[in-house]
A and B are shown apart, each in its own frame.
Chain A
Amino acid sequence: MATGGLAGAGIEGCGSKDAAPERLVPASSPEAAPGVAAEYATLCRECPAGCGAIARHRDGRVTKLEGNPDHPISRGALCARGQAAVLGLYDPDRVRTPLVRRPGGGLDPISWDEALGLAGERLARARAAGSGRIALLSALDSGSLSALEGRWIQAFGSSRYLLAEPFGYEALRAAMELTFGVDQVPRFDLTRATYVLALGADFLDTWISPVQMTREFAALRSPEPVRRTRCHYFGPRLTLTAAAADQRTYVRGSELGLLGMALVSQVLAKRRTELDADTRERLSVLLRPLDLQRVAEETGVPPAMIETVTDELLQADAPVVLAGSPLAAGPPDIAAATAALLLNRALGAAPRIRPHALGRTARPPALLELAGALGGGEIDVVLVREIDPVFAGGPLGEIGRVLRRDPGPGGGERPWVIALASALDDTAARADLVLPVHTPLEAWGDAEPEPGIASLQQPAMGPLYDSRHAGDVLLGLAGAAGNDLAPALGVEDFRGYLRARWSERHEARGEHQPFEAFFAAALRRGGVFEPRASVRFQVPPFDATRLPAGWDGSGTGGEGERPAAGPISGGIERGSSEVELHVFPSNTLFDGRGANRGWLQELADPVTKVAWNTWIEAHPETAGALGLADGDRVRIRSDHGEITAPLLVHPDCALGVLAVPAGQGHEAYGRLARGRGANPFRLLAPDLAMRPGLIAERHGRAPKLARYGGPADPEGRSIVPLASLAGPDAATEDFLLPLPESYDPVLDTVVPHPHREHRWGMVIDLEACTGCSACVTACYAENNIPVVGEENVREGREMAWITLQRYDVRHETHPWPATTHAFLPMLCQQCDSAPCEAVCPTFASYHTEEGLNAQVYPRCIGTRYCANNCPYKVRRFNWHPPSFASPLHLQLNPDVTRREKGVVEKCTFCVQRITAAKQAAARAARPLVDGEVVPACVATCPATAIVFGDLLDPAARVSELMRSHPRRYQVLGELRTRPAVVYLERIRRDHGAG
C-alpha cells in the first residue's frame, strides 16, 4: 500500500463537486468501483493509543486495515488488535436493532423511535427528579464525542460524566502527582534513548502506546548501524518487553517498588554533585543509600545486579526508565512508578515525558464514588457507552457490581441502565435498554492521543445494521427527553458537531486555506499533526516534599507533614508459600474487547503460545510449593472473587507469583467469548492494590490448553544463532542466495533456473522483531485465512501462514548467564530449490518465474506430501471446510481465493499485492520501484523488522541486506533449500559491552 493510493483515497475522488467533500457513501461512490480498492484514512479505536489507520475498502465494504504512514503514532504500522478491528465491524454477534428488557428478563428488539421514546421518558423523569440523577460512563475518548458527552450531561443537569478504561495506569498517575504534581499519564519518548530500563512496564506489549513504542525501540536497534541501546527488564514474567531486553530479572510486582527506590538511592548517591542544594535537601531521605543486602533479601535481586544497572544508567548518554502497572495501584506499584519518574528526572530524561490522553480517564476515587451513588439509589438512569464495567475489575468493576444486579421490580436496587454498545457485552447484556451504535469503522470521530496529534476518524463504510452513531444517539436521547441539544449546539448531528469543532481548530490555527480544503486535507491525511518539536511537554518543577515517607525502605512513615505511605513491598515474605497475583493485559485480547474476534482468539499469546483460553502461569518452584502441577485445574481465590483456570508451569516468571492474563471469561459478548476461560478481573480489589491472602488450590486436571507448537528449547540446533555487537558469533556457513549463482555443480543435484524480471525475497531482522504477532493477524485479514477454533488449535490444525516461533537460546555472559528469547517469524521461505514442489504429484505446487512457491488450489488434491516435506512446516492443510459466519464473509479479500476443504494452502508473499503493484506500474508504463510491493506482514510490522523486495534489483534494500549484511543467515541453510527469506541474527549485548 503506497502513499499514492492514500492520496487518491477518501474524499477527493468524489465525482460531483456539489457533494460535500466528506460525504462518504462508499457503496455508490465512484472510488468504490467494483474490483477497485479504495483507501480511507481513519483511526484505530481498539485501545487508547490512538493509532492512525487506513481502511482498505472494496465493493462497499472494508476488508482490511493498515497503519497510516502519515500518522505520527503508528507510522504505517498496526498491531494485531488493530488488524482485528474489522472483526468488530463484522462481528456476527453485533447488536442489530435497539433492544429493551422485557419484564420477564430477556431482551426484545424494538424500533429506534420506541427506544428513544422510552429512554427519553426515563431521562426526562430523572431530570425532573433533581440534578445529578443521570450518569454517563464512557470509554475513553479524547475528541468531539467526549466534548459532546460533556455538553449532554450538563444539559441534563448532572456532572456525573466519567471516562474510564479497564487499564487506568493509576500507579503512574499517582506517581506523577507525587513527583511533578500533575495528574497525567506519561508517555515516554524512546527516540534516541541509549538505555532503557523497564520496571515492569511492558511497553512492547500493551503499555500505553505499544505500536509507537515498538517502532521507537526497534529503531534504536535495527538494522544498521546497530546502536548500542541496552535494555534491562525487571518484572514478574516473560513478556515481549522482557524477551526483547538484553537482561531480565524476574521479581514480583510488589517488589518493584523497593527495587526502584534502591536504584533511585544508588543513582542519587552517585550523582549527588549534579543536584542543586535545594533538591538535595528535598531528597535527603532517598539520598541515603538503601541497604542493598536487605533489598536483595526482599527481592532476590543480587546487590551486584543493582549496582550494575545503576552504573549502566549513569554511564548511558540518554537513559529512560519506564514503570507503571496498567492495573495494579497499591503502594509498591506507586513506589515503582515514582522511582521511575525520579530516575528519569535525575538522569535528565524527564523531557521525554509526554502527557497521554489516558490521563483523561476517571481515577479510582471518582469511579468508586459513582459506584456508591449508583448503588445508593442516587441515580435514576445511567448510560454506559462502549465500555464494559460488568466485565471489568477494580473501581470500574465496582460500578459493574451494581450494574450486574438483577433489575428488580422495585427499581431501587440499581438505576435504569442504557447501554450504547455495538456488541452485547457483559454490561449491555444486563442493561435495560441497548442502543446499537456504530463500530468505529462506521463512525465519525476524532482523537488527540498526545498533544499536537489531532486525528480524524472517518467512517470507512456505510453502517452494516440499524445502528446509529453514539453522538447521534445522545442527541436523539436529548431530543426525546425534551432537552433538545442539537439546536442548542447549532448542529444537526454529530458529524456537524465534529465539523464545528474542527472549524474552531481551523480558526485557531489561523490557516490560510478555507475550512473545506483544510478539513478535506485533514481527512485525507488522517488528522492534523503538529511537528514534534513544536509540542513540548513542560516538565513541572519537581517537589520531593510530596513524596510519602517510608519509601526508603525503612518502613517508618508519617514523618512530619508528609503523608504516610503504605508498605513499599507487597508484604509477602520471600520463600513463604504465599503467592501474589499478577493480572496482566492480554497481548491478544487486551482488556477483553478482542474476545469475540476469531483472529485474536486464535492468535497465540507470543510467549506462552496459548490461544483460546485463560491460563495461570507459575514458576515450577511456586507450583511445587503450592502442590500444583502443570495442567492442573486451579482455583484461585482472593478476598473479592475466584476463578478457575489451567495451570501453566514455566520457568520464565518470578517466584511466588501467579500470573493470569485478562480478557477471557465473558458472560456474554458473543459466540467466541461467552463462557470461555476465566476473568481474573474478578480477583481484583476495588482500590487495585495487590494484597496477600491469595489461595490457590487444585481441582483435578484441566483439559489440555490449545497451545501452538513444540518446545522453545532449540536442543542445540542453530536455529537462531546470535551475534554480538562485534559481529556474528559464528561464520554464517551454508548461506546460499536464492539465485542461480548459488548453485554448485558438484555439491548440488539440483540445477539453477532463471527468473524472469523479478525474484522476490525478504529479510527479517530478528533484532527488531519483538514477537508482537501483528504480522500473523494481518496475514489472516489479507489472505482469507479461516479461524479453526480451540479444539483444532489443540490438535495442531491452525491455518496461520505466518507464525511466531520462540526459541530460548542460552549463552554464557558475564557476570550472569543469560537466555535470549528470540522470536522467529516463520512463513513460507519461498525456497529456490524447494522440497515441497518436487513431491507434488499434480504440479499444484510449483515454482513461478518470479521465484515464488506457488500453490494452485484447484489442482491440489490434498496428499499433504508437500506439507510433510517442508522443513519449515509452513504449509497448511484445510482439515475441515473453512467457515466464515455471516457477515464475516464480507471481510474476505476478493483478490485472494477462498480455499476449500482438503487442499493445502500457504504464503506466497501476498502474490495478489505483487500483481496489483505490477499492474499499476504497467498501467503507468514505468518499472516497479523498490518498496512498491508491500506484503501484508511487512506493511503492518510495528518494528519495521521486515524488508521485502526484488533480488534482481541490485539497488533494492532487500538485495543489499541479503547480499552483504554481516548478520544475515538462513534458517536450516544447511539443507541447501536456498530460502528467499533471510534472517538477521539477534544480537546479544553483554554487560559492559555497551
Chain B
Amino acid sequence: MELAEVDRLVLTALAPPGRRLKWVVTGLLLAIGVGVAAFLYQLERGLGVAGINHPVGWAVYIASFVYWVGIAHSGTLISAALLLARARWRLPLARAAEAMTLAALAVAGLFPLIHLGKVGAFTATLPIPNPRGLWPNFVSPLSWDVLAILTYLIVSALFFYVSLLPDLASARDASAEASGRRGFTLRGHPAMRWLALGWRGTSRQYLLLGAVQRVLAGLATALVLFVSTVVSFDFATSILPGWHATHFGPYFVSGALHSGLAMVLLVLISMRRGLRLGALIGREHLARVARLLGVTTLVMGYFYLVEPAVAWLSGDPAERAILHYRATGPYAPVFYTMLVLNVALPASLLWRGPRTMEGWLAAVAIFVNVGMWLERVLIVVTTTAHDFLPANWGFYLPTSIELAVLAGALGLFVLVLIVLLRTVPPIGIAELKAELVAEAESDSPAGAGLGEAVRAGSMPLEEESRAPSARVTERAVAEPVPGEEPGVLGVFKAARSAGVAARALASARLGPVEVLGPCATAAHRAVPAGPWPARAVFLSVLAGAALGFALGLWIPLSTAREFALVVGAKPVPPLPAYLVVAGFLSLLGGSLGGGAAFLALALFRRRRHDRLERAFDPRFSRDRFGVFVGCDAGRAPLATELLQAAGAEEIRGGA
C-alpha cells in the first residue's frame, strides 16, 4: 500500500457534507434548539419545572453527568491506555475515540451547570481569585468534580491536539486533485495551515511528539481511574444508604468503561458506514472493542452481585431497605431492565460469533448505553427517594423539560463528534503511515505494506484501494533547495533508503542532517537529536506537576487558615481532602508543562535546525521523505553522491 493511499482514504472523509449529513445536522440542531429552549424555560421558571423535588434533589441531570463522564473514559482508554500498552490495533480507532472523549466531556460538563439553582453563580465553584479571598470549599466532592472535569478536558484536548499535528499538516499539504472533489472542506484550508502550526515532520518534532504523547497518555490514563472515582465520591462520601459504599470508585470506573466502549462501538460503526472508512476500520477492530466490552460486562455483573451482598451484610436497615426498594419498589421495572441491558445482553459478546455481527454489535452498544444511563438514574434517584426517615420518602419521574434537555445534550454530543470527525482527519494518518513504514522495513512478507493495524480489519485494504497515483514529480538536481538554505536535499520514496542516506550523511560529518517525512520512521531516529529535547519535555512535566501540587495545597490551605470555617466537624485543614485537589492540579500542571515544552521546542524554537526545515516540500506530508544536509557548495558533491547511492529519486541543491 502506498502511503499516499492512506491520505486519500482518510482525507476523503473530509469531503464536503452530502445531503444525508445535512439532514442529520439539521435534526441535531433542532434537538439542541429544543434542549436550549427547555433549559431557558427552566432558568426563567426555576427548577420546579423539572421533576426533581424534595427529597429527590438530584435526578437525570446528575445521572447524565455521570453517564457522559463515563462515555469519555473509554475514548481515553482506547487512545491513551492502549498507546501505552503498544496495542497496534488501536491505531485506526484512536482519533475517533479521542474525539468522542472531547465531545462527551463537553456535554458532561454542561449538566452540573444545568442542574444548578443559580446557574450564573457557578463561578463560585472555580478557584478564581476574588476580592472575598474565599476559595471554594475543597472538602466538597463537587469542588473535586469541577477540578476533575476541567483537568480531564484540558489533558484530553491537549492529547488530541498534539497527536493531530502531523495529520493537520497532511491535510494542509494535501493537493486538491488527491480527492478530486471540491466544495466546502477544510482540506488545504488556511485554517489547517494555522492549526498545523508549521509542522514539518522533522526528526526532532517526531521525537518530541513521541515524548509528549507518552506523557499525556500516561496522565490521561491516570485520569480515567481518578475522574470517575472522584465522580463516584459525590455519592460515596455522602452518608446516604445506597450511596455510601466503598466499592463505588471501581464500580463507577468500570461502569464508565462499559458504557464508553459501547459508545466507541457505535461511533466506529457509524464511521464505517457514514465516513466510508470500512477499509481502515475493519470488523476485527469492532470485535476487539466488543471483546473489551465483554470483559466490562463481567466486571459489571460482579459489581451488581457485590452491591446487594455488601448492603445485606451491613445489617443496616436503611441499606437493606434501599436494596428492597430497588428490587420491589416502583423503580423495579427499571432496575430489571437495566440488569438485562447491561449484563444479560452484552454477555453475548463473550462468544466470538456475536462479536463479528455488526448489526448485533450496534444493538448491544445501544442497549448498554441505555442500560448504563438507567443505572446512573437508579443510583441517583432511589437513594434520595428512600433514605432514613420514611416520612421523608418521595418519588420522582422526569418531566418533558428534563427530557428535552437530555435530547438536546445527546444532539450536542453527536454534533460535536460529527464536526470533529469531519474537520480533522478522523484516523491518525501519521501513526498509520508509521506503522506501514515500520512493517515495510521489517522482514514482513507483506511487502506491499499491509500493516498489522490495517490487517486487523477483516476487510483487506486492497479491496477498496485503487491504483496509486502514478504522477511522479521529476525535478532537476540543480534546482536549489527552497528557502535558500545552503545544502543538499534528497527526496526518497522509501523510508528505508532515506534512513540509509541519513546515516551515511551523518557519519560523513558534512553538516547538520535533517530528515523530513509524513510519519516517524527509523530514518528520523537515524539523526541524533541528543537527549535534551525529550528530557526537556519530561522536566517540564515534572515542574508543572510540582507547581500544580503546590498550588493545589496552597489554595485550600490559605482558605483554611484565613477563614478557619468548620464544616461537618472536619479538621481545619482537612488534608486528605486537599490531596485530591493537589492531585488534580499536579496532573493538570504536568500536562500543561509537557504540552508547553513540546510546543515551544518542536514548533516555535528558532535554531539552525529549524531553518533546515525550509527544505520542506508538501510531498513530505504525504508520501515522500526528505533528507537534507546543510553544507556549503564545496561539500555538496559528496552529499549528492551519498544521496544518490542511497537511492534518492530526486536531489536538489547539489549543483
Given contacts A839-B141, A878-B117, contact A859 B124 (CB under 8 A): yes
| A798 is an interface residue with CB less than 8 A from chain B | yes
Nearest B residue to A717 by beta-carbon distance?
B317
Chain A contributes a number of interface residues (CB within 8 A of B) equal to: 71
Q: A872 — which chain B residues lie within 8 A by C-beta?
A: 388-389, 392
Q: B58 — which chain A residues lie within 8 A by C-beta?
A: 864-865, 868
Residue in A750, A869, A971, A972 whose beta carbon sits within 8 Å of that of B238 in the complex: A869
Cβ of A974 to closest chain B Cβ, rounded Å = 9
Given contacts A798-B54, A865-B142, contact A753 B387 (CB under 8 A): no
Q: B567 — which chain A residues lie within 8 A by C-beta?
A: 834, 837-838, 840, 843, 845-847
Q: A841 — which chain B residues lie within 8 A by C-beta?
A: 124-125, 136-137, 140, 142-143, 146
| B161 is an interface residue with CB less than 8 A from chain A | no
Q: A708 — which chain B residues lie within 8 A by C-beta?
A: 391
| A562 is an interface residue with CB less than 8 A from chain B | no
Q: A806 — which chain B residues lie within 8 A by C-beta?
A: 391
B116–A835 CB distance below 8 A: no
- Inter-chain CA distance A878–B116, complex, in Å, is 11
A-B contacts, 17 of them at CB < 8 A, read A709-B392, A719-B389, A719-B390, A751-B569, A826-B391, A838-B139, A839-B139, A843-B134, A845-B567, A860-B117, A861-B116, A861-B121, A865-B57, A865-B234, A869-B239, A971-B389, A977-B239
Most buried by A among B47, B139, B143, B395: B47
Stretch from A67-75, A611-619, A900-908 at the B interface: A900-908
- Inter-chain CA distance A901–B46, complex, in Å, is 6
Stretch from A122-130, A677-685, A789-797, A921-929 at the B interface: A789-797
| B604 is an interface residue with CB less than 8 A from chain A | no
B389–A873 CB distance below 8 A: yes
B571–A880 CB distance below 8 A: no
| A916 is an interface residue with CB less than 8 A from chain B | no
Residue in B47, B134, B140, B317 whose beta carbon sits within 8 Å of that of A716 in the complex: B317
A834–B391 CB distance below 8 A: no
A833–B569 CB distance below 8 A: yes
| Interface, chain B (partner A; CB < 8 A) | 45-48, 51-58, 112, 115-118, 121-122, 124-125, 134, 136-137, 139-143, 146, 234, 237-240, 317-318, 321, 384, 387-395, 563, 565-572
B571–A843 CB distance below 8 A: no
Given contacts A750-B570, A840-B137, A847-B569, contact A868 B46 (CB under 8 A): no
- Inter-chain CA distance A708–B55, complex, in Å, is 11
Among residues 708 to 735 in chain A, which have CB atoms less than 8 Å away from a CB atom of chain B? Answer: 708-717, 719
Q: B393 — which chain A residues lie within 8 A by C-beta?
A: 709-711
Given contacts A717-B317, A826-B391, contact A795 B53 (CB under 8 A): yes
CB-CB contacts of A875-914 with B at 8 A, as 1s and 0s?
0111111000000000000000000111110000000000
Q: A526 — which chain B residues lie within 8 A by C-beta?
A: none
Cβ of A860 to closest chain B Cβ, rounded Å = 7
Among residues 142 to 194 in chain A, which have CB atoms less than 8 Å away from a CB atom of chain B? Answer: none
- Inter-chain CA distance A622–B578, complex, in Å, is 62
Nearest A residue to B394 by beta-carbon distance?
A796
Most buried by A among B124, B240, B392: B392
Nearest A residue to B56 by beta-carbon distance?
A796
- Inter-chain CA distance A439–B502, complex, in Å, is 102
- Inter-chain CA distance A971–B239, complex, in Å, is 15
Nearest B residue to A713 by beta-carbon distance?
B390
- Inter-chain CA distance A431–B239, complex, in Å, is 60
Residue in B54, B318, B568 whose beta carbon sits within 8 Å of that of A750 in the complex: B568
Residue in B56, B118, B137 whose beta carbon sits within 8 Å of that of A862 in the complex: B118
- Inter-chain CA distance A859–B237, complex, in Å, is 22
- Inter-chain CA distance A843–B389, complex, in Å, is 26
Q: B137 — which chain A residues lie within 8 A by C-beta?
A: 838, 840-843
- Inter-chain CA distance A901–B47, complex, in Å, is 8
A833-B569, A872-B392 are known contacts; what are 7 more A-B pairs with Cβ within 8 Å? A708-B391, A797-B48, A807-B390, A865-B57, A865-B141, A868-B238, A881-B45
| A13 is an interface residue with CB less than 8 A from chain B | no
Q: A840 — which chain B residues lie within 8 A by C-beta?
A: 137, 140, 142, 567
Residue in B46, B238, B321 whose beta carbon sits within 8 Å of that of A879 in the complex: B46
Most buried by B among A751, A839, A876: A839
| A586 is an interface residue with CB less than 8 A from chain B | no
Q: B569 — which chain A residues lie within 8 A by C-beta?
A: 743, 750-753, 832-834, 847, 978
A751–B570 CB distance below 8 A: yes
A846–B566 CB distance below 8 A: yes
Cβ of B234 to closest chain A Cβ, rounded Å = 8
| A535 is an interface residue with CB less than 8 A from chain B | no
A710–B118 CB distance below 8 A: no
Residue in B57, B118, B140, B390 whose beta carbon sits within 8 Å of that of A711 in the complex: B390
Cβ of A866 to closest chain B Cβ, rounded Å = 9
Most buried by B among A841, A879, A881: A841
B55–A880 CB distance below 8 A: no
Q: B392 — which chain A residues lie within 8 A by C-beta?
A: 709-710, 805, 872-873
CB-CB contacts of A789-832 with B at 8 A, as 1s and 0s?
00010011110000101110000000000000000101000001
CB-CB contacts of A957-981 with B at 8 A, as 1s and 0s?
0000000000000011001011000
Q: B388 — which chain A residues lie within 8 A by C-beta?
A: 717, 871-872, 972, 975
